[in-house]
Structure 1
Amino acid sequence: MAQQHFDIAIIGAGPGGYSTALRAAELGKTVALIEKDATLGGTCLNRGCIPSKALLTAVHSVETIRNAERMGINASLQSIDFGKLRDFRVSTVETMTKGLTGLLAHRGVTVFRGDAVLRGAHTVDILPAQGQTHVLRSVKAEVFEPTDAQFTIVADDIVLATGSRPLALPDNPFTGALIDSTQALELNTLPASAVIVGAGAVALEFASLWNAAGCKVTLLIRKDRVLSTWERRTSMTLTRELKRRGVEVITRTAVEHVDTGANLGATVHYRQNDSTEERVAYGEVVLAAIGRVPNTDADWFRSSGLALDDRGYVVVDGFGHTNLDGVWALGDITPGHALAHRAFEQGITIAEKIAGLDPKPVLDETVPQVVFSFPEAASVGLTLDQAKTREDVLEPEETAYPMLSNARMLMSGEGGSMTIVSGEFADEPNKRVVLGVHIVSPIASDLIAEAEQLVGNHVPLADAARLIHPHPTFSETLGEALLKADGRPLHTR
C-alpha cells in the first residue's frame, strides 16, 4: 500500500474542491485532489450548471425568433436538430472540464481517481473507483497512471467537498419516466409533454427550457407561487411570467404518488388546496426537482466523529472549520445556498485560512441567487420581512421600481420587477445602506453582480444612487431604483 504526504488533501473535485486546490497551490501548498468520477468538475460542470445553461442558451434562439414577429421581422422555426443540440451541450462540457484538468496540472495539483475514506483528522485512504482495479494518479501531466490497489494520503489539513445529489419524491424513487435533473439533461430529444414537481431554480429552468422548445409543461408547486422563500414581488412576478408563456402552474399541490407503468410516460397523482379529491397530471416525462440531499451518508462521515445537523449537513463556521481539528468542509454538504459560486468563495477562504492569511468569513446574505428562467430572476441580501426580524437592522424600507419605465425592458416585451431593501445596521448608525436587491428581468443574472457589491460592501445608499448607469440599458433599472430608494426618483414617481 503506497503512502504520500501533502499539505492539503481534498475529497471531491466539484467547484468547492477544485477552487480550494487551485488557490492552495497558488499559495505554495502541496495539494492532493481526490475524485471518484471519470471527469473533474462535479455536478456543476458535468451534470448541472454548464450543460443546462448550454441548452438554455440554445433555446434562447427560439425565444428570439418568436419575439421577432412582434417587432415586424418575419422569421420561423423550421426544426430542432437534436443531434447538433446534444453535440453543442457535450462539447461545451468537454471544453470546460478539459480546461479545468489542464489548469490543475499547470498549478501542480496531484489528482487521484478513486473512492476516498476519511480515517482520521490527517489520514485519507483511497480505494479504486467503480470499474477500476487500482487507484489512478495524475501528476502535472494530465495523464492518469495506476498506483496501488489502495493508496493512503497523510495531510496536515483535509477538506471535504463531496457535493449533493437530487432528492427523490417520498416513496417514489427515480425510475422509468420519473427522472431527476441529471437524466433530464441527458435526454437526446426534448419531451412533447412534461410534468415538473418543484418550484426552485432547477424546476423553473427546465420549465422555461422545455416550454420554449414547444413542450407542454405542467408545473406542480406546493405554495401559491414559485420561489416561495424569495422576496414576494419577485416570486409573484416570475409566476405570472411563466403562466404568460404557457406554462401551466398548478398551485398548492401535494403529490401522492407517480405511476410510471409499462407504457411510455408517467402519471402524477396529487391533491390540491388540502382537498381529499385526487387529481392527475400526465407527462411523457415527470421531473422531480424538489431539492438536493448532501452526500454525507458514507459510513466514515459519522464514524470519524464529524458533527452533522439533523438534515445530514456538516456543521461549519464562516471559515469552513468543522468540529475536527484540521478538517474543513464546504459546498453542498454545508448548510446554506447550494450554489457553485458560494462553493468557489468557500474554497478560496479555506485555502487562504490554511495558508495563514486573514480572509473574511463567507456570509450567505452576500451570496447572489440566480434562476436562469425566461425571464431570469436574481436576488441578493435581505428581503423586507427578513430585515424586520433582524435586531441589528434599523428602519428597513422597501422600494419597488416599475420596470416598464425602462426603455430596454419596454423593447424586450418582457415583464419584470425590481425591489430594493434599504436600512441601517445598528453598528453603523446614520449610514443608510442597500440591504437587498431582488430582480426579475431578461439579464437579471448579470445585473445582480453590481447589487452584490453594494450589499456586501455596505455601500451607503446615497453613494450607490450617484453611480452613473449607461443609457439606454437594462442596468439603468438598478440605477433608477437606487435613486428612488434614496428619495430622488428620476423617470418614476
Structure 2
Amino acid sequence: MAFDYDLFVIGAGSGGVRAARIASSHGARVAVAEEYRVGGTCVIRGCVPKKLLVYGSHFAEDLADAQRFGWNTTGATFDWPTLRDNVASEVDRLEGLYGQTLGNAKVEIFRQRAVIAGPNLVRLADGTEVSAANILIATGAWPSIPDIPGAEFGITSNEVFHLQQLPKRAVIAGAGYIANEFAGIFNELGVEVTLVTRGDKMLRSYDQEIVEKLVGISREKGIDIRFNFKCPAIRQQADGSFMVESGDGADVETDLVLFAIGRVPKTKDLGLEALGVALDKDGAVIVDEYNRTNVAGVFAVGDVTNRVQLTPVAIREGHAFADTVFGKNPRTIDYGAIPTAVFSNPPIAGVGLTEEEARATLGDVKVYKSDFRAMKNVLAGRNERALYKMIVDGKTDKVVGLHLIGPDSAEILQAAAIAVKAGLTKQAFDDTVALHPSMAEELVLMK
C-alpha cells in the first residue's frame, strides 16, 4: 500500500521534533501536526521560560548582596511586564528556530490538531485525512486540575507566564519541582507565598535530607509551607480575592491560586482507544523499550508515555525511535542514573540512588557529606548553607548517588553525573585534585 508519508508525528515538542528531523535525515517522508506552537511544553510553557524567570528573580538577592561587594544599588526597582514580555519574545524566537529546523529537514508542518482516524490514518482539524506507514504520538502531558469546588478560580503553569500583573499574595498547591520553583520565583519578586500540599513531604523522589534543607531555607526566606493541607474548596470573595480552604480551619486568603499538582499524559480524544492502543490508568500510552505500542505502526515517545517526564529523555527517545525504525540501527534508552534538578531557591540536584533507596536496595552503604557556606554568601553576610551528599556502595566503593543543594547545583552536578553513570569509585573522587576556590571542590574533599 502506498502511503502519503512514511512517518506522521502528532505533537511538535522536544521528542516529536527530534524524531521527525532524524527520520527525515534517514530518508523518510515526514509530517508533523501541532495544534498550538512548535516547541512543546519545554520551549513554550515550561523549562525555558521558567528558567528565565528564575534568572530574573535571583537579581533580588544579587542586588542586596552586591552592596557588601561595594556596589551601590540604591533605588533599584523591578518591573514585571518587562521581564514577562522579554521572556515571551525569547519564546517566540525559539519557536521560530524550531520551525526553521523542521523546514530545513524537509519536514512538512501542519499547524492544527491531528487525531488518529483509523489504521495508518490521520485526520486534521480541517477535515483533511492523510495516510502514514508509521504514526508517532508525542503530545506530551498537561497540568492536572483538582476536582474540587472553585477549581476554576486557579491557574496552572500554562497561564502563569502571561499574568498581567504580579499578585500581592499567592497560594501554590503542589509538592513537586514546578511548585517549589514558582514558590521561589514569586517570593523573590516580592509576592507573599504560601506553598501547600496534601501530603507530609515535598519532592518525594529526591534525597529527603536535601529536601528538608530546602524546606528550612525556603521558610527562612519567607515562604509559608504547609503540609497536610487538604484544600477541599476555593471560594471567591466580594473584593475579588480568594479563600483557599484548608480542611482544618487554617484557611488562606490570597489573590492568586496556582495549581502545580502534577501533569497527566495528553491523550484525550486522540482516537487511541478506538484504534485499540493500550493506555494505563492515567491515560499514558503503554510502549515497549523500542517505543512500540500494541498496535502495529503506532509508536509514542516523551511525556505522553509517563516513563520519565524530562525533556532530554524525550529527545533521546525520539532519536532512538527514528534510528530504530528508519535508520536500521535499533536502539533503546538507558534510564539509569538520569541527573535531575529543581531550580528552586537555592536549587537542588541529584543523580543515582538517594540515601533511602541505597539503604533499601544495597544494605551496606557509606554516606559522605559536606555542609558548608559558599564563599560568596560569607562575604554577603548571608547565613544560607549548602549541603552535598555522596552515597557509596560499601561493598564495591562505587559512588551510586550524588545529591546537592546550594548555588549552581545543577551546573556542578552535570559533570559529576558522568562519574556516577560511569560507575567510578569514591577513591577516584579522592584522587582528583580540588579546583580551588570553588564550591564544586567539595565533591573531592568529602571524608
Scaled by the length of structure 2, what TM-score is found? 0.92
1:160-179 residue pairs with structure 2 within 5 A?
Answer: 160-172=137-149, 174-176=151-153, 178-179=154-155
Segments of structure 1 that go 5 or more residues without pairing to the other structure are: 129-148, 272-276, 425-429
Partner residue in 2 for 1:399: 368
Contact preservation (8 Å) 2:346, 2:406? yes
Among candidates 85, 99, 102, match of residue 101 of structure 1: 99
Query: Aligned in 2, Cα 1:121/1:383: closer, same or farther, shift over 3 Å?
Result: farther
1:355-366 residue pairs with structure 2 within 5 A?
Answer: 355-363=327-335, 365-366=336-337
Partner residue in 2 for 1:150: 128
Partner residue in 2 for 1:459: 424
Query: Aligned in 2, Cα 1:403/1:359: closer, same or farther, shift over 3 Å?
Result: farther
Structure having the higher strand fraction is 1
Residues 1:256 and 2:227 are matched in the alignment:
no
Report the 3-state secondary structure (helix = DSSP H, G, I; strand = E; otherwise coil) of the residue aligned with 1:91: helix
Partner residue in 1 for 2:32: 33
* C-alpha displacement of 1:22: 2.3
Q: Letter of the 1:463 partner, please give it.
A: A
1:347-386 residue pairs with structure 2 within 5 A?
Answer: 347-354=318-325, 355-363=327-335, 365-386=336-357
* C-alpha displacement of 1:65: 0.7
Query: Aligned in 2, Cα 1:299/1:350: closer, same or farther, shift over 3 Å?
Result: closer
Q: Letter of the 2:59 partner, please give it.
A: S
Report the 3-state secondary structure (helix = DSSP H, G, I; strand = E; otherwise coil) of the residue aligned with 1:32: strand
What is the aligned-residue identity percentage? Answer: 29
- In the alignment, the residues of structure 2 paired with residue 421 and residue 119 of structure 1 have an alpha-carbon distance, to the nearest angstrom, of 50
Q: Letter of the 1:22 partner, please give it.
A: R
Residues 1:478 and 2:443 are matched in the alignment:
yes
* C-alpha displacement of 1:71: 4.4
Partner residue in 1 for 2:277: 306
- In the alignment, the residues of structure 1 paired with residue 430 and residue 20 of structure 2 have an alpha-carbon distance, to the nearest angstrom, of 39
Residues 1:82 and 2:80 are matched in the alignment:
yes
- In the alignment, the residues of structure 1 paired with residue 369 and residue 26 of structure 2 have an alpha-carbon distance, to the nearest angstrom, of 45
Q: Letter of the 1:188 partner, please give it.
A: Q
Query: Aligned in 2, Cα 1:319/1:290: closer, same or farther, shift over 3 Å?
Result: same
Partner residue in 1 for 2:390: 420
Report the 3-state secondary structure (helix = DSSP H, G, I; strand = E; otherwise coil) of the residue aligned with 1:477: helix
Partner residue in 1 for 2:59: 61
1:429-448 residue pairs with structure 2 within 5 A?
Answer: 431-448=396-413
Among candidates 88, 91, 96, match of residue 89 of structure 2: 91
Segments of structure 2 that go 5 or more residues without pairing to the other structure are: none
Query: Aligned in 2, Cα 1:306/1:403: closer, same or farther, shift over 3 Å?
Result: farther
1:172-211 residue pairs with structure 2 within 5 A?
Answer: 172=149, 174-176=151-153, 178-211=154-187
Aligned residues: 443
Among candidates 214, 220, 239, match of residue 238 of structure 1: 214
- In the alignment, the residues of structure 1 paired with residue 32 and residue 183 of structure 2 have an alpha-carbon distance, to the nearest angstrom, of 36
Greater CA drift, 413-422 or 69-78: 69-78
Q: Letter of the 1:403 partner, please give it.
A: F
Scaled by the length of structure 1, what TM-score is found? 0.84
Post-superposition CA distance 1:329-351 (Å, at most 9, x none) = 12111133322122112112212
Q: Letter of the 1:152 partner, please give it.
A: V
Contact preservation (8 Å) 2:149, 2:232? no
Post-superposition CA distance 1:174-200 (Å, at most 9, x none) = 434x21112221102211111111121
Residues 1:114 and 2:112 are matched in the alignment:
yes
Contact preservation (8 Å) 1:316, 1:334? yes
Query: Aligned in 2, Cα 1:362/1:237: closer, same or farther, shift over 3 Å?
Result: same
* C-alpha displacement of 1:464: 4.2
Among candidates 324, 330, 344, match of residue 315 of structure 2: 344
Report the 3-state secondary structure (helix = DSSP H, G, I; strand = E; otherwise coil) of the residue aligned with 2:49: helix
Query: Aligned in 2, Cα 1:102/1:174: closer, same or farther, shift over 3 Å?
Result: farther
* C-alpha displacement of 1:289: 0.9
Partner residue in 1 for 2:125: 127
Q: Letter of the 2:320 partner, please give it.
A: T
Q: CA RMSD in A?
A: 2.3
* C-alpha displacement of 1:359: 2.8
